[in-house]
Structure 1
């Protein structure tokens, strides 16, 4: 890895369902796809994650999007 160390951290996923927020244990090197895999009550292909008004792509990492310990990302279900 170039330029950053892998860090363990917690992120919050804000959802319009019950429970409204869940906290995930992740690493800065985790891909968005692996984060989605931790959200088990909605199929992966229906999950959209948004951070800083940007739709997160499955192959990007938390570090790529500068997501830090304690940050919140927004969860939306894609009904298409």
Structure 2
């Protein structure tokens, strides 16, 4: 079964932020492991809003330490479940 939020988030990480999905799992830390910087956070916020209709602030995204935290934040804001 496909998970739209996870699929779209992975697409954003891969296509918009130019990250390799082979290096990414739920525990991957956005800054320490993936090297996401303030510019990438801004790009990610815009892409999440456009593709998933979820409004996040850069601060909310920055407070999400891992890919899983970010996915959970998007789910909470969208009212979706895994």
Q: Which TM-score tier does this pair reach, normalised by the shorter chain? A: 0.3 to 0.5
The structure where strand makes up a greater share of residues is 1
Give the TM-score of the pair, scaled to structure 2.
Answer: 0.37
The structure where helix makes up a greater share of residues is 2
Give the TM-score of the pair, scaled to structure 1.
Answer: 0.37
